[in-house]
Amino acid sequence: MRKIFVFLLFFSFLFALDADEISFEGNESRIVLKEGRENVELTGGAKVTCQNLVISADNINLSGENWRFVSVNGNVLVLDEERELEIRTSMLWYDRINELLLIGTYFELDDRKNEMNASATSLEYDMKNENLVLSGRVRLSKMNETDLVSTRAESIRYDRSSDVMELLGSANVLWQGDRYSAEVIRLDLENDSIELDTRIKGTING
Burial grade of 128 (CB within 10 A; 0-12, 13-18, 19 or more): exposed
User: What is the model's pLDDT at position 112?
Assistant: 94
pLDDT per residue as tens digits for the range 160-184: 999 999 999 999 999 888 999 999 9
**Res 164: pLDDT:** 94
- Kindly state whether residues 52 and 110 are assigned to the same domain: no
- Do 114 and 205 have their domain in common? yes
φ, ψ at 189 (rounded to 5°): -75, -20
Task: Please determine, for residue 45, whether its predicted confidence score (pLDDT) is greater than 80.
Answer: yes
Q: Is there a single domain that holds both residue 73 and residue 143?
A: no
pLDDT tens digits, 90-132: 999 999 999 999 999 999 999 999 999 999 999 999 999 999 9
Give the domain extent around 32.
1-79
Reduced to 3 states, what is the DSSP secondary structure of residue 5?
Answer: helix
126, 13, 28, 104 alpha-carbon torsion, rounded to 10°: 10
- Kindly state whether residues 74 and 133 are assigned to the same domain: no
Question: Are residues 119 and 177 both part of a single domain?
Answer: yes
What is residue 61's predicted lDDT score, i.e. its pLDDT?
93
**Model confidence at 206, in pLDDT bands (50, 70, 90)?**
low
pLDDT grade for 25, boundaries at 50, 70 and 90: confident
Residue 98: strand pairing partners: none
Q: Domain for residue 95, yes or no?
A: no
Q: Identify the pLDDT of residue 3.
A: 35
Residue 47 has pLDDT above 70, yes or no: yes
With a CB cutoff of 8 Å and minimum separation 6, the contacts of 141 are 116, 117, 118, 148, 149, 150, 151
Q: What is the domain count for the chain?
A: 2
For 157, half-sphere exposure in the C-beta direction (CA atoms, 13 angstrom radius) is 10
